[in-house]
Amino acid sequence: MAESLDVTREDSVDAFYAAVEARLGPVDLAVSCAAHARPGALYERSAEAIRSEIETGLVGALLFARRGIQRMLARGLRGQVVFMSSTAAEVPWPRLGAYAASKAGLEQAARTLSLELEGSGIRCQVVRVGNTIGTAWADDWAPEEMAAVAEWSRLGLLRHGGMLEPAQVARAVLAAVSAPPGVALDHVSVHPEAPVEAGAAEEPRDPE
Protein backbone atom coordinates (compact mmCIF):
# COMPACT_ATOMS: atom_id res chain seq x y z
CA MET A 1 0.00 0.00 0.00
CA ALA A 2 1.30 3.46 -0.86
CA GLU A 3 -0.19 6.91 -0.47
CA SER A 4 1.22 10.24 -1.58
CA LEU A 5 2.30 12.55 1.23
CA ASP A 6 3.91 15.95 1.63
CA VAL A 7 4.62 16.33 5.36
CA THR A 8 5.10 20.09 5.02
CA ARG A 9 1.45 20.55 4.01
CA GLU A 10 -1.22 20.06 6.65
CA ASP A 11 -3.89 19.16 4.08
CA SER A 12 -1.64 16.43 2.64
CA VAL A 13 -1.00 15.01 6.12
CA ASP A 14 -4.75 14.95 6.82
CA ALA A 15 -5.50 13.23 3.51
CA PHE A 16 -2.79 10.65 4.15
CA TYR A 17 -4.15 9.67 7.57
CA ALA A 18 -7.71 9.51 6.23
CA ALA A 19 -6.66 7.22 3.37
CA VAL A 20 -4.59 4.93 5.59
CA GLU A 21 -7.28 4.64 8.25
CA ALA A 22 -9.89 3.85 5.59
CA ARG A 23 -7.79 0.81 4.68
CA LEU A 24 -6.26 -0.27 7.98
CA GLY A 25 -8.44 1.17 10.72
CA PRO A 26 -7.65 3.68 13.49
CA VAL A 27 -3.99 4.62 13.75
CA ASP A 28 -2.12 3.52 16.86
CA LEU A 29 1.45 3.94 15.56
CA ALA A 30 2.94 6.91 13.74
CA VAL A 31 6.52 6.70 12.47
CA SER A 32 7.79 10.12 11.45
CA CYS A 33 10.74 9.64 9.11
CA ALA A 34 10.62 12.20 6.30
CA ALA A 35 13.87 14.06 5.62
CA HIS A 36 16.23 15.01 2.82
CA ALA A 37 19.64 16.65 2.54
CA ARG A 38 22.39 17.65 0.14
CA PRO A 39 26.02 18.05 1.20
CA GLY A 40 27.45 21.54 1.30
CA ALA A 41 29.00 24.02 3.70
CA LEU A 42 26.23 25.94 5.44
CA TYR A 43 27.59 29.32 4.34
CA GLU A 44 27.57 28.21 0.70
CA ARG A 45 24.00 26.93 0.64
CA SER A 46 21.01 28.97 -0.44
CA ALA A 47 18.40 30.12 2.03
CA GLU A 48 15.84 28.11 0.06
CA ALA A 49 17.86 24.88 0.41
CA ILE A 50 18.33 25.35 4.15
CA ARG A 51 14.68 26.17 4.66
CA SER A 52 13.57 23.13 2.66
CA GLU A 53 15.59 20.71 4.79
CA ILE A 54 14.31 22.21 8.04
CA GLU A 55 10.72 22.34 6.75
CA THR A 56 10.78 18.65 5.86
CA GLY A 57 12.98 17.13 8.56
CA LEU A 58 11.73 19.14 11.53
CA VAL A 59 8.48 21.02 10.84
CA GLY A 60 7.06 18.28 8.62
CA ALA A 61 8.03 15.52 11.04
CA LEU A 62 6.27 17.35 13.87
CA LEU A 63 3.14 18.02 11.81
CA PHE A 64 2.93 14.35 10.87
CA ALA A 65 3.34 13.18 14.48
CA ARG A 66 0.94 15.85 15.74
CA ARG A 67 -1.92 14.63 13.58
CA GLY A 68 -1.34 10.99 14.51
CA ILE A 69 -1.33 11.83 18.22
CA GLN A 70 -4.50 13.89 17.88
CA ARG A 71 -6.28 10.92 16.32
CA MET A 72 -5.10 8.54 19.05
CA LEU A 73 -6.15 10.91 21.83
CA ALA A 74 -9.57 11.56 20.27
CA ARG A 75 -10.30 7.82 20.33
CA GLY A 76 -8.73 7.15 23.72
CA LEU A 77 -6.30 4.66 22.17
CA ARG A 78 -3.00 3.49 23.55
CA GLY A 79 -0.43 4.21 20.87
CA GLN A 80 3.08 5.13 19.92
CA VAL A 81 4.88 7.81 17.95
CA VAL A 82 8.41 7.23 16.68
CA PHE A 83 10.76 9.91 15.39
CA MET A 84 13.51 8.69 13.08
CA SER A 85 16.73 10.55 13.84
CA SER A 86 20.38 10.33 12.83
CA THR A 87 23.81 10.16 14.42
CA ALA A 88 24.23 13.63 12.92
CA ALA A 89 21.97 14.91 15.72
CA GLU A 90 24.76 14.19 18.21
CA VAL A 91 28.02 13.99 16.24
CA PRO A 92 29.20 17.04 14.24
CA TRP A 93 28.78 16.10 10.59
CA PRO A 94 30.32 18.68 8.24
CA ARG A 95 28.42 19.60 5.09
CA LEU A 96 25.12 18.46 6.59
CA GLY A 97 24.51 21.37 8.95
CA ALA A 98 20.85 22.03 8.21
CA TYR A 99 19.98 18.33 8.22
CA ALA A 100 21.83 17.82 11.52
CA ALA A 101 20.03 20.81 13.03
CA SER A 102 16.66 19.37 11.99
CA LYS A 103 17.45 16.04 13.66
CA ALA A 104 18.82 17.62 16.85
CA GLY A 105 15.69 19.76 17.07
CA LEU A 106 13.53 16.72 16.46
CA GLU A 107 15.12 14.82 19.34
CA GLN A 108 14.55 17.70 21.75
CA ALA A 109 10.95 17.99 20.58
CA ALA A 110 10.50 14.26 21.20
CA ARG A 111 11.84 14.56 24.74
CA THR A 112 9.41 17.40 25.42
CA LEU A 113 6.53 15.51 23.82
CA SER A 114 7.23 12.49 26.05
CA LEU A 115 6.52 14.66 29.09
CA GLU A 116 3.41 16.17 27.51
CA LEU A 117 2.04 12.66 26.84
CA GLU A 118 2.69 11.22 30.28
CA GLY A 119 -0.39 9.38 31.52
CA SER A 120 -2.05 9.39 28.09
CA GLY A 121 -1.09 5.85 27.12
CA ILE A 122 0.87 7.13 24.13
CA ARG A 123 4.59 6.41 24.11
CA CYS A 124 7.02 8.69 22.30
CA GLN A 125 10.48 7.56 21.31
CA VAL A 126 13.45 8.32 19.08
CA VAL A 127 15.23 5.79 16.90
CA ARG A 128 18.63 7.25 15.99
CA VAL A 129 20.06 5.58 12.89
CA GLY A 130 23.66 5.29 11.72
CA ASN A 131 24.97 5.03 8.16
CA THR A 132 22.46 3.34 5.89
CA ILE A 133 22.61 2.25 2.26
CA GLY A 134 19.89 1.13 -0.11
CA THR A 135 17.66 4.20 -0.06
CA ALA A 136 17.28 6.92 -2.68
CA TRP A 137 18.66 9.52 -0.26
CA ALA A 138 21.80 10.37 -2.26
CA ASP A 139 20.72 9.25 -5.74
CA ASP A 140 20.61 12.78 -7.17
CA TRP A 141 23.76 14.15 -5.54
CA ALA A 142 26.17 15.74 -7.99
CA PRO A 143 29.79 14.48 -8.17
CA GLU A 144 31.04 17.46 -6.15
CA GLU A 145 28.46 16.65 -3.47
CA MET A 146 29.46 13.00 -3.39
CA ALA A 147 33.02 14.17 -2.65
CA ALA A 148 31.81 14.83 0.90
CA VAL A 149 31.92 11.07 1.47
CA ALA A 150 35.73 11.19 1.31
CA GLU A 151 35.79 13.91 3.97
CA TRP A 152 33.46 11.93 6.23
CA SER A 153 35.73 8.90 5.87
CA ARG A 154 38.81 10.99 6.67
CA LEU A 155 37.16 12.26 9.84
CA GLY A 156 36.26 8.74 10.92
CA LEU A 157 32.54 9.30 10.57
CA LEU A 158 32.20 6.29 8.28
CA ARG A 159 34.80 4.31 10.22
CA HIS A 160 34.81 0.65 9.17
CA GLY A 161 32.63 1.02 6.10
CA GLY A 162 29.77 -1.03 7.51
CA MET A 163 26.31 0.04 6.42
CA LEU A 164 22.79 -0.66 7.60
CA GLU A 165 20.12 -1.75 5.15
CA PRO A 166 16.54 -0.41 5.23
CA ALA A 167 15.18 -3.80 6.32
CA GLN A 168 17.54 -3.80 9.31
CA VAL A 169 16.37 -0.34 10.33
CA ALA A 170 12.75 -1.46 9.99
CA ARG A 171 13.40 -4.44 12.26
CA ALA A 172 15.03 -2.13 14.81
CA VAL A 173 11.95 0.11 14.80
CA LEU A 174 9.73 -2.96 15.22
CA ALA A 175 11.82 -4.10 18.18
CA ALA A 176 11.56 -0.64 19.77
CA VAL A 177 7.76 -0.44 19.47
CA SER A 178 7.34 -4.03 20.65
CA ALA A 179 8.34 -3.19 24.22
CA PRO A 180 5.63 -4.45 26.59
CA PRO A 181 3.06 -2.07 28.11
CA GLY A 182 4.49 -0.19 31.06
CA VAL A 183 7.95 -0.02 29.49
CA ALA A 184 9.11 3.21 27.85
CA LEU A 185 12.10 3.11 25.51
CA ASP A 186 12.68 6.81 24.94
CA HIS A 187 15.80 6.45 22.80
CA VAL A 188 17.24 3.64 20.68
CA SER A 189 20.48 3.99 18.70
CA VAL A 190 21.06 1.68 15.74
CA HIS A 191 24.52 1.41 14.22
CA PRO A 192 26.00 -0.79 11.51
CA GLU A 193 28.12 -3.67 12.69
CA ALA A 194 31.69 -3.78 11.42
CA PRO A 195 32.15 -6.28 8.59
CA VAL A 196 33.17 -9.63 10.07
CA GLU A 197 36.74 -10.51 9.21
CA ALA A 198 37.38 -13.79 7.43
CA GLY A 199 37.53 -16.62 9.94
CA ALA A 200 36.49 -14.43 12.88
CA ALA A 201 33.06 -16.00 13.20
CA GLU A 202 34.01 -19.61 12.56
CA GLU A 203 32.76 -22.23 14.98
CA PRO A 204 35.51 -23.34 17.39
CA ARG A 205 36.96 -26.70 16.59
CA ASP A 206 37.14 -29.55 19.08
CA PRO A 207 40.64 -29.98 20.50
CA GLU A 208 42.49 -32.88 18.95
pLDDT at 203 over 90: no
**83 neighbors 107 (Cβ within 8 angstroms):** yes
pLDDT 10s digits, 160-186: 667 788 888 899 899 889 988 888 888
- Whether 5 is covered by a domain: the verdict is no
In the chain, how many domains are there?
Answer: 1
Per-residue confidence (pLDDT) for residue 201, from 0 to 100: 56
Distance (Å, rounded) from C-alpha 181 to C-alpha 7?
A: 29
Label residue 10 exposed, middle or buried (CB < 10 Å: 0-12, 13-18, 19+): middle
Query: With pLDDT > 90 as the criterion, what percentage of the chain qualifies?
Result: 55
Report pTM. 0.85
Distance (Å, rounded) from C-alpha 88 to C-alpha 136?
A: 18
- Whether 108 is covered by a domain: the verdict is yes
- Whether 100 is covered by a domain: the verdict is yes
- Whether 208 is covered by a domain: the verdict is no
pLDDT at 1 over 70: no
- Whether 70 is covered by a domain: the verdict is yes
CATH number at residue 96: 3.40.50.720
104-108, 117-121, 170-174: the lowest-pLDDT one: 170-174
Task: Please provide the distance, in angstroms rounded to a whole number, between the alpha carbons at the two ends of the chain.
Answer: 57
- Whether 62 is covered by a domain: the verdict is yes
Q: What is the extent of the structural domain holding 73?
A: 10-190
pLDDT at 53 over 70: yes
pLDDT 10s digits, 91-105: 898 999 999 999 999
pLDDT 10s digits, 136-156: 777 778 888 777 877 877 777
pLDDT at 204 over 60: no
19-23, 32-36, 71-75, 192-196: the lowest-pLDDT one: 192-196
- Whether 158 is covered by a domain: the verdict is yes
Segment 17-23 shows an average pLDDT of: 95
- Whether 203 is covered by a domain: the verdict is no
Beta bridge partners, 30, equal 81
Distance (Å, rounded) from C-alpha 123 to C-alpha 125?
A: 7
Per-residue confidence (pLDDT) for residue 100, from 0 to 100: 94
